[in-house]
Structure 1
Amino acid sequence: MATSCTQRLTLQSDSSEQNRFMEKLVAKIFSFYDEQSLTDVTFKVSNPTALIPAHRLILAAASPYFENLFNGAQGTNPVIEINDIDSDTFERLITFCYTGQTLITVNNVGDMLKAAIVLQLDDAITSCVDYLVSHINEYTIQGAYTLERETQCELFKQKIIEYETQNFVEISQSDEFLNFDFEKMQRILESDNLNITREEDAFDAIKRWFNFDVAARQEQLPLLIACLRLTQFDAEFLLTHIQPLPGCELLAFKAISWIREPAARTKINMRFTEPRGVSAANCGEKTLLAVCFELFAINPKLQQYNKAEDKWQEYASLEIDYHRYRTILKDGNLLFTGGEKTSATLNIVRSWNIRNKAWQDLPTMKQARHSHCVVELDDKIYAIGGCDGGKTLSSVERYTTYDGWQFVNSLIVGRYGARAVKLNGKIYIMGGSNDDVGLKSVECYNPHLNIWIPCADMTESPTLPGAAAHKGHVYVLGSYGDNRTVERYDPQQDTWSKICSLEVGIGSTACASLDNKLWVITGNFLPGKSCVSVYDEENDRWEQKFALPERNIHSLFVVPEALLKSNE
């Protein structure tokens, strides 16, 4: 009986009726927990002593730990003692079992991660690890290394490796770096995504590590030098810096031969002969790339920002004969999804490669849509809401290379002209309109549970908003008549607050986080230029940058400078 019921639910997983049912069910479960109604188990937790009531079914569904506990010898006891987790941490994680969210801080994240591992709460583990990585300067890298050793958390270990790769130059100057073991050093130096602007940075780091304990590391030195892209050095550097190192004479000779004798390269055995790849992870400097348009967004222009000279210059002009598409940056490509042409809504997806400026057609969406949102999360692309003709859409579909486009659970409230961002492994969608009524509502998508959860409303219902995730918060800026209020959302507290207003012309808006600062470009419906502003968080004010020469901004992306220069 249970199997057939589950099959029917699976077959109906995309129906609006089931979505409404699940929303009501989840909301009722939240209310039962808030009111401590119908609870059937109480946990007695120490430090300090507290009694925490809960529902067995919810906890068992959230965690294998609780499922095994309730099926075990003491599982039927009305009161169960928990001795290895403090009461505050345990209560926060019980809340997570119901809501998928909890308050994480620099002071409690270590205890939260350890307890989440004990309780086998994978989503809570992910939330803790994401918080640690995004606040690692406050937590300190030394504290992160200590916590990783204590927890042996595989996800945390992988995230630290990614952090080390992305912040290698900074990490290599720390005292902790000198105690890296050989295997860690080799793994980092082999990476094609190592974030260095020149190969000498990696060489300098190896020398610093080696000189810390020459006697113990002498045999390992040639193995690490072999991880360098030696052919990127000139012959003089190889002769004066690499050849004198113990055990590295042959490596230097091979690299010099490779450089000086191209015809002999097929006979020279070297591990790495190509430069490290150009990517968002190792590109060094990043800059802004703006998609701009005139009337109806036909034939947009791409403008790149020159940070050194604080000015914009045209990168390319695209031939697109439709409008109201939505754009996303993925793997060095701009993906244009959906749109509208002569009143017909489109489901097409086209990819434009930034480096070689070439188009490619991708699999079409299941639902034709325009004025929707598109977000990449965990290497998957989500198309959310929008319009099909005059119909407001609540449907959501997700693209993967192995499954193509597949529907997932729909929005609670259908909307078009909204904005969506990814943050802490979730998608947040804000504002927009439904049947020409402006929305203040906000929804959060949990990809692991495949559900949309309502969040606190914004204070305004912005039109033509811009949005960006920045320093662990979501920022939304739109036009409210003459009022250009900027709102900031704290996902830990589920609260919105206002920051300094931005006095700019009414028009389209795009936001991005670059160099640890929030950038906003606001277009102008009237003839003129777009205003470029940077938020000074310390003084709560906006600084003006060189104006964008186009009057309307469609979207804004952070891209590697090397990616824009690679075709010159």
Structure 2
Amino acid sequence: MVLILGRRMNSGDSGIRDSPAVKRKVLEVESKTVSSQDILDFCSGSSHSDGILQVFNEFRDSRLFTDVVISVQGHEFHCHRAVLSACSSYFRAMFCNDHRESREMLVEINGILAEAMDSLLTFIYTGRAKITTENVQFLFEASCLFQINTLRDACAKFLEDQLDPCNCLGIQRFAEAHSLKQLASRCRSFALANFSEVAQHQEFLDLHCEELEDYISSEDLSVSKEEVVFEAVMRWVYHSVDHRRSTLKALLLHVRMPLLHPNYFVQTVEQDLIIQTAQECYQILHEARRYHVLGNEMMSPRTRPRRSTGYSEVIVVVGGCERLGGFNLPYTECHDPVTGEWKSLAKLPEFTKSEYAVCALRNDILVSGGRINSRDVWMYNSQLNLWLKVAPLVKGRWRHKMCVLLGKVYTVGGYDGQSRLSSAECYDSFSNRWTEVAPMKEAVSSPAVASCAGKLYVIGGGPDDNTCSDKVQCYDPEKNQWMLRANIPIAKRCITAVSLNNLIYVCGGLTKSIFCYDPAEDYWMNVAQTFNKLESCGMSVCNGKIFILGGRGENGESLDTILCYDPATGISHGTSTMPRPISYHGCVTIHRYNDKYFKP
């Protein structure tokens, strides 16, 4: 540390008289350790920069120290190059590089409004901008041009706050044109959530066909009933019917016509003049008619309810055993694969029986037979959450299978305590009666059964206690005849099958393989693997995917695993687990209402 110290000399110290001025001497003094109390880190806060900006704005208003004039639409704005460059990388590049504008006093800018330039300069010099519904668009475009991101983001936030059913589609187009992904996504979500209101405004009628398809095909579309979607599509078509008539089929493919109320379908849809003359739409209408008769036996993307209606596809697990030789369980539980939730339904009556057969008829569930030699048949009414006893089987049996084909229930095969059965029965729910049909070519128990393309397929099974069959027996209800098709690659019993997209999928039999059969080509292929070797598992199609639930492993113990296989991608993955390990249970898919998802 260097200090300058002063002292007065003593006159007696020397004979020479010093000047009366104080002599100055430089001394080196030992410094002490500097502590935090010896330093003041002072900051005036934002008031300092705000004050400087205010002064620069005053300079701009009085044209003091301005060194450039910006000309827009004939209006001249006197500015400071340094201030513009500090706020905008656009101006920084213009003035700091060797561009012509860096040497000229007058710079003309085209492509924006003078009003936008005035608001932009006000923001640059004050940090404030008045954003309104009238100026937000050109102010946003100006802030994008001059790369002033804070103002651009403020405009985007303002647009998001202004979202309304009457403007969300227009704002979405604006956002997409300027690559505002977040705003565009927010607009789309808003339109999907408020579709019924959005469809009443002019912007909706101005949509392109592809844009409308994107909305009505979305699983996130929120409507209280499918009639809203149909009416929106028809309103869009009728707005310019000569030009849009040709798009009707492409749009109706995304309307879930089978889920329209049957009365509405007959009185409104089939009476529409455009639809009556649109031959290309006949197949779509036919699918809806078949669904109204056959129910959930008809499966397609258009038969899956939108969750916003309160309905969803759920898998119902009926009964089963926790372990080998254990008691049959009385539980009936439904599982929503989307949420992973489980919910208890009415318990299965006479649950002491085991090895019965389960299938879904329309949106109800049938349980038939069971050990030992039972003829009983129970129907679960999904609307009332109630089990009702219906007409009994002609012949008592267990280890048999049931399947729905063209609106009727078929019971095939099984065991009567003495021998395997080849007999088959058909149930008509309208007459509440079982009748025998032609017997199978080979008597089997514990086969896999599925209906596909208008025929019934009985796959594999056990002809006796010691052997397994690899035969595929096909029943034609029109001819009341059985025929043999291509054998399954492995001979197994205790296997399960489902049908999806005109193909049959089979698993179980203590193998890891999932086999697929194409009835049209009469051809088998191995398409996927399960995580464990299992048998007597549950299998059901839900939301266009195949779910394999529980089953019994190699060690004889039941499993609580759930495997999801997506035929579209060929990918299998585990999902949530079951409430308890279980095997020898029934699995079906129905539509179930849950007011928690309903959005009025």
Q: Provide TM-score, normalisation by structure 1.
A: 0.50
Equivalent in the alignment of 1:487:
515
1:501 matched to 2:539 = no
Matches within 5 A, 1:425-444: 425-436=454-465, 437-444=467-474
Residue 301 of structure 1 and its aligned partner are, at CA, apart by 1.6
User: Measured at CA, do residues 196 and 175 of structure 1 come closer, stay the same or move farther in structure 2, by a change above 3 Å?
Assistant: farther
User: Measured at CA, do residues 498 and 175 of structure 1 come closer, stay the same or move farther in structure 2, by a change above 3 Å?
Assistant: same
User: Measured at CA, do residues 328 and 538 of structure 1 come closer, stay the same or move farther in structure 2, by a change above 3 Å?
Assistant: closer
Letter of the aligned partner of 2:407 in structure 1?
Answer: D
Q: Structure 2: how far apart are the matches of 1:175 and 1:557?
A: 37
Residue 397 of structure 1 and its aligned partner are, at CA, apart by 1.4
Equivalent in the alignment of 2:320:
293
Residue 403 of structure 1 and its aligned partner are, at CA, apart by 7.8
Letter of the aligned partner of 1:382 in structure 2?
Answer: Y
Q: Choose from 586, 593, 596 the match for 1:555.
A: 586
Residue 327 of structure 1 and its aligned partner are, at CA, apart by 1.2
1:310 matched to 2:333 = no
2:513–2:529 CA contact under 8 A, matched in 1: yes
2:493–2:509 CA contact under 8 A, matched in 1: yes
Equivalent in the alignment of 1:424:
453
Residue 305 of structure 1 and its aligned partner are, at CA, apart by 2.0
Matches within 5 A, 1:48-127: none
1:283–1:561 CA contact under 8 A, matched in 2: no
Deviations 1:31-74 (A, max 9, x none): xxxxxxxxxxxxxxxxxxxxxxxxxxxxxxxxxxxxxxxxxxxx
Residue 535 of structure 1 and its aligned partner are, at CA, apart by 1.6
Q: Structure 2: how far apart are the matches of 1:533 and 1:403?
A: 36
1:355–1:566 CA contact under 8 A, matched in 2: no
Q: Choose from 498, 504, 514 the match for 2:542.
A: 514
SS in structure 2 at match of 1:399: strand
1:529–1:547 CA contact under 8 A, matched in 2: no
1:372 matched to 2:395 = no
Q: Structure 2: how far apart are the matches of 1:466 and 1:564?
A: 33
- Aligned-residue sequence identity (percent) comes to 20
Matches within 5 A, 1:389-400: 389-400=417-428
1:546 matched to 2:576 = yes
Q: Structure 2: how far apart are the matches of 1:453 and 1:518?
A: 27
Q: Provide TM-score, normalisation by structure 2.
A: 0.48
1:331 matched to 2:374 = no
Q: Choose from 530, 533, 540 the match for 2:563.
A: 533
The worse-fitting range, judged by mean Cα deviation, of 506-515 and 546-555 is 506-515
Q: Structure 2: how far apart are the matches of 1:363 and 1:369?
A: 15
Gaps of 5+ in 2: 1-206, 213-222, 246-259, 265-291, 297-302, 307-311
Q: Structure 2: how far apart are the matches of 1:441 and 1:410?
A: 15
Letter of the aligned partner of 1:404 in structure 2?
Answer: R
1:297–1:324 CA contact under 8 A, matched in 2: no
Q: Structure 1: how far apart are the matches of 2:362 and 2:582?
A: 25
2:451–2:499 CA contact under 8 A, matched in 1: yes
User: Measured at CA, do residues 364 and 206 of structure 1 come closer, stay the same or move farther in structure 2, by a change above 3 Å?
Assistant: same
Residue 538 of structure 1 and its aligned partner are, at CA, apart by 5.3
> Once superposed, what is the RMSD of the aligned Cα atoms?
3.6
User: Measured at CA, do residues 314 and 374 of structure 1 come closer, stay the same or move farther in structure 2, by a change above 3 Å?
Assistant: same
Residue 527 of structure 1 and its aligned partner are, at CA, apart by 6.2
SS in structure 1 at match of 2:236: helix
Equivalent in the alignment of 2:248:
none
Q: Choose from 477, 485, 500 the match for 1:455.
A: 485
Letter of the aligned partner of 2:516 in structure 1?
Answer: R
How many equivalent pairs are there? 318
Equivalent in the alignment of 2:435:
406
Equivalent in the alignment of 1:210:
238
Letter of the aligned partner of 2:320 in structure 1?
Answer: F
Q: Structure 1: how far apart are the matches of 2:321 and 2:543?
A: 29
1:489–1:497 CA contact under 8 A, matched in 2: yes
SS in structure 2 at match of 1:201: helix
Q: Structure 2: how far apart are the matches of 1:211 and 1:446?
A: 48
Residue 491 of structure 1 and its aligned partner are, at CA, apart by 0.9
1:508–1:552 CA contact under 8 A, matched in 2: no
1:505–1:522 CA contact under 8 A, matched in 2: no
2:427–2:433 CA contact under 8 A, matched in 1: yes
Q: Structure 2: how far apart are the matches of 1:417 and 1:323?
A: 13
User: Measured at CA, do residues 288 and 566 of structure 1 come closer, stay the same or move farther in structure 2, by a change above 3 Å?
Assistant: same
Larger radius of gyration: 2
Q: Structure 1: how far apart are the matches of 2:557 and 2:313?
A: 30
1:196–1:283 CA contact under 8 A, matched in 2: no
Letter of the aligned partner of 1:547 in structure 2?
Answer: T
Residue 486 of structure 1 and its aligned partner are, at CA, apart by 1.5
2:544–2:566 CA contact under 8 A, matched in 1: no
User: Measured at CA, do residues 352 and 313 of structure 1 come closer, stay the same or move farther in structure 2, by a change above 3 Å?
Assistant: closer
SS in structure 2 at match of 1:206: helix
SS in structure 2 at match of 1:391: coil
1:524–1:530 CA contact under 8 A, matched in 2: no
Residue 532 of structure 1 and its aligned partner are, at CA, apart by 1.1
1:536–1:542 CA contact under 8 A, matched in 2: yes
User: Measured at CA, do residues 530 and 451 of structure 1 come closer, stay the same or move farther in structure 2, by a change above 3 Å?
Assistant: same
Q: Structure 2: how far apart are the matches of 1:502 and 1:425?
A: 29
2:373–2:416 CA contact under 8 A, matched in 1: yes
Residue 413 of structure 1 and its aligned partner are, at CA, apart by 0.2
SS in structure 1 at match of 2:446: coil
User: Measured at CA, do residues 360 and 566 of structure 1 come closer, stay the same or move farther in structure 2, by a change above 3 Å?
Assistant: farther
Residue 533 of structure 1 and its aligned partner are, at CA, apart by 1.2
